[in-house]
Amino acid sequence: MPVISVKNLTKIYVVGEIEVRALRGVSLDVEAGEFVAVTGPSGSGKSTFMHIVGCLDRPTTGEYHLDGRDVSKLSKDDLANVRNSKIGFVFQGFNLLSRTTALDNVELPLLYMRKNGLRSAERHKRAMAALEAVNLTDRFHHYPNQLSGGQQQRVAIARSLINEPSILLADEPTGNLDTRTSIEVMGIFQRLNKERGITVLLITHEADIAEYGTRLIRFRDGRVVTDQKVLHRRNAADELAALPPPEPDQIAPPEHEGEAAH
Amino acid sequence: MSLLMTLRIAFKALGRNKLRTALTMLGMIIGVAAVIAMVALGSGAQAMIEEQVRSTGTNLITISPGSFNMGGVRGGGGTSTRLTPEDAEALREIPEIEYVSESAGTRSQVIYSNQNWNTQIEGVNIDLPLIRSWQVQYGTFFTAEDVKSAAKVCVLGANVADNLFGEGVDPTDVQIRIRNQPFKVLGVMTRKGASGGGQNQDDQVFAPYTTVIKKLSGQQNINRIFAASRTADELSSAAAAVTAALRIRHGIEPGDTDDFMVQTQDDIVALRTQTASTMSSLLMGIAAVSLLVGGIGIMNIMLVSVTERTREIGLRMAIGARGFDVLLQFLIEAVVISLAGGLVGIGVGYLASEGIKVYMQSPTLIPPDAIIIAVGFSAAVGIFFGFYPARKAAGLDPIEALRFE
């Protein structure tokens, strides 16, 4: 059974008197354990597709089964529950809460768990485990403005992992990062995908970043134009090993300081 | 999310911008402090009035002559002097009435040795100390025998005794002169202070009313009648019985107005309280306006906060917060501001009322229910003015919110 199964997905926005047809019939399946890169120029519908897959929005018509459950017609609150338990988000701008430690940021989704809320000791344990998965346990008490961009994005990845979601949705996760840090972050996605079998959906407009995935889906004008296996898949771990060692004690570049959500 | 957790998040969020939180709170602090201080002032005045009136006797009924009315020509209050000792005698028959005292007064100079003092000579009957629950400090009050024989005896108010003899002197059995007639001092009343009407009750001399009528004022009628009901509960029925009895005695046809006035202590309290409460409701109005302004301040700052934290709201929604969770988060922030402001305001209001007490010499009193109301009201202000911004936050579209710059 595929993790994601969409059929004839359409989305029509009405802006004033103009109808914008953002999706014009998208059908595809994603199996568990795939690493899918979704690309396309802006306005191609990839963002709309991601919002629907991420249960942030509902399709105008069509079906969307997540883990075998039809989620295309759920209420807002039910969608919030699905997002909480089945989907992990990683954003371009990290979206960490400022003046909140890495550990507390990672714990945040646990606070919105609907059923049997966890005790704080259990929450800490799980948050530490998630930070361990991104190699950031030593920075758990740091605030976002004390972390580099790459470290902030790793905290965000840890946060997306905390509820053991069915899919990990990464929306331009390297958009604010330099090349080396981008490779590091992609390395984490590849490792989580390979070692834990986590299904990753990566939205990017950068063709070279898309090559870290196993499957490439290209959008144009609200439709899927190509859907193929990545032939020459890049391996972040190998590339990192080939790069010269990083300068010691990398500090967050100034432009990242205001990036965390206020 | 649990309420406790939401509360913790609210405190954290408010702590991030301490100056802004403090300034917003200041609006509530001033509002609540103003309300508390005004209530304290109003209740203090009320309590003082009640205390003064109580000092003149709680079950007291005062009957005074009303307006003179003949052939359509109406005089003012007191123009009729149709209160007679026989009227007083008739009131003694009413079962609800326990004590009755005639009252006939005149002002005169009182002289002792080389001291003199101008004061009210109050002609009364022996029930007066019982009606007014007023004891003698030195000596005794005069007796029924003195009243019957119109004896030249008197009992001094404490103030009069001070002025003639000096403080702490017992002038019992001393002769003083009133209008060139010798009066024997039988005693001195205890101190009573100001009456409900504001007069100094200690500045008068009591004598048998018969003596005052026959030997001092030369009038036939009496000025007033004081009566006391058996219990406070019987006060209004006693007053009604007095009215009915006097109407019959004065031959007033049904439908015609009384030519006398019957006032109970309740009436006097009500009259005096009205003035005080008009004043304090005016002040309360001003205080309520400042509370309203405080509430608008909270709404304003919460709207700013929602806009500033749009991305945070978007993120919380993306990771599973429902609209209700977001609503609660912002509502609780507003309530924390208003409630904390309210609590500090109660403290400031208390200090202000103590200040008023000391510097303006006005009695103040903070009733316990005013504090409970103030706490409840500040919470209500937070909910009322916090609701709109919170609903705005909860209604945000997560996609739009996440994109917000």
Q: Report pLDDT digits (tens) over A150-159.
A: 999 999 999 9
Q: Rounded to whole angstroms, how far apart are CA atoms A166 and B223?
A: 99
How many percent of chain B have pLDDT more than 70?
94
Confidence of residue B252 (pLDDT cuts 50, 70, 90): confident
Where helices occur in chain A by DSSP H, the ranges are 46-53, 76-86, 102-111, 120-133, 149-161, 179-196, 207-210, 236-242
DSSP string covering B152-181: SEEEE-HHHHHHHH-TT---TT-EEEETTE
d(CA B353, CA B365): 8
Task: Quote the minimal CA–CA distance from B403 to chain A in Å.
Answer: 9
pLDDT of residue B79: 55
Contact A262 B312 (CB under 8 A): yes
> What type of residue is B58?
T
A:B CB pairs within 8 Å: 68
Task: Supply the pLDDT for residue B177.
Answer: 92
Q: Which of B359-395 are b and which e, b meaning 16 or more Cβ less than 10 Å from the residue's Cβ?
A: eeeebbbbeeebbeebbebbbbbbbebbbebbebbbe
pLDDT confidence of residue A260 = 45
The sheet with strand A4-15 has its strands ordered as A18-30, A4-15, A61-66, A69-70
**Confidence at residue A261, expressed as pLDDT on a 0 to 100 scale:** 46
Instruction: Measure CB to CB from residue A80 to each of B309, B315, B317 and give the nearest one.
Output: B317
User: Checking DSSP bridges between strand A35-39 and strand A61-66, what pairing results, if any?
Assistant: unpaired
Nearest chain A Cα distance for residue B400, angstroms: 10
pTM of the prediction? Answer: 0.73
Q: Round to whole Å and give the CA distance between B161 and B137.
A: 11
Q: What is the mean pLDDT of chain B?
A: 87
- Which residues of A fall within a CB distance of 8 Å from B322? 76-77, 80-81, 112
Query: pLDDT band for position A256 (50/70/90)?
Result: very low
Q: Quick check: A139 contacting B, CB < 8 Å?
A: no
Angle between helices B368-394 and B18-55 (to 10 degrees): 150
pLDDT tens digits for range B315-359? 999 999 999 999 999 999 999 999 999 999 999 999 999 998 888
Residue A22 burial (CB < 10 Å; 0-12/13-18/19+)? buried
Paired with A216 in beta bridges are: A37, A228
Cβ pair B314:A95 closer than 8 A: yes
Tokens of B216: 């001092």
* Predicted pLDDT at B362: 79
Q: What is the predicted pLDDT for the residue at B250?
A: 85
Residues B50-94 pLDDT 10s: 777 767 667 888 888 876 555 556 655 555 567 888 888 889 989
CA dist A71 and A231 (Å) reads 33
| A77 chain-B contacts, CB cut-off 8 A | 322-324
Give the number of residues written for chain A: 262
Contact A257, A201 (CB under 8 A): no
Q: Tokens standing for A23?
A: 């999706």
**Longest C-alpha distance within chain A, in Å?**
56
pLDDT tens digits, B25-61: 999 999 999 889 888 888 888 888 777 776 766 788 8
The residue of chain A nearest to residue B306, with distances taken between CA atoms, is A262
Could you tell me the pLDDT band of residue A84, with boundaries at 50, 70 and 90?
A: very high
pLDDT of residue B25: 93
Lowest mean pLDDT among A49-58, B214-223, B381-390: B214-223
- Give the best residue of A95, A105, A166, A172 to mutate against chain B (max B CB count within 10 A): A95
Contact B134, B192 (CB under 8 A): yes
Sheet with A167-171: strands ordered across: A87-90, A167-171, A199-203, A35-39, A215-220, A223-229
Say what the pLDDT of residue B1 is. Answer: 66
Q: Confirm if A175 and A90 have CB atoms less than 8 A apart.
A: no
Residue-level pLDDT at A114: 77
**B248 touches A at CB < 8 Å:** no
Residue A54 forms contact with B (CB below 8 Å): yes
Tell me how many degrees the CA angle B333-A140-A54 measures, rounded to the nearest 5: 65
**What percentage of chain A exceeds 70 in pLDDT?**
93
Per the DSSP assignment, residues forming a β-bridge with A69 are: A66
pLDDT digits (tens, 9 = 90+) for B122-163: 999 999 998 888 889 999 999 999 999 999 999 999 999 999
- Looking at every residue in chain A, the average pLDDT score rounds to 89
Does the pLDDT at position A247 exceed 70?
no
Q: Quote the CA–CA distance of A226 and A228 in Å, as a whole number.
A: 6
> Any chain B CB within 8 A of the CB of A56?
yes
pLDDT at A1: 84
Q: Say if strands A87-90 and A167-171 run parallel, antiparallel, or are unpaired.
A: parallel
pLDDT digits (tens, 9 = 90+) for A1-19: 899 999 999 999 988 889 9
ipTM of the complex in this document: 0.90
Q: pLDDT grade, residue A259 (50/70/90)?
A: very low
- Residue among A77, A97, A111 whose CB faces B312 most closely: A97
What does the pLDDT read at residue B74?
61
Tens digit of each residue's pLDDT (9 = 90 or more) over A157-204: 999 999 999 899 999 999 889 999 999 999 999 999 999 999 999 999
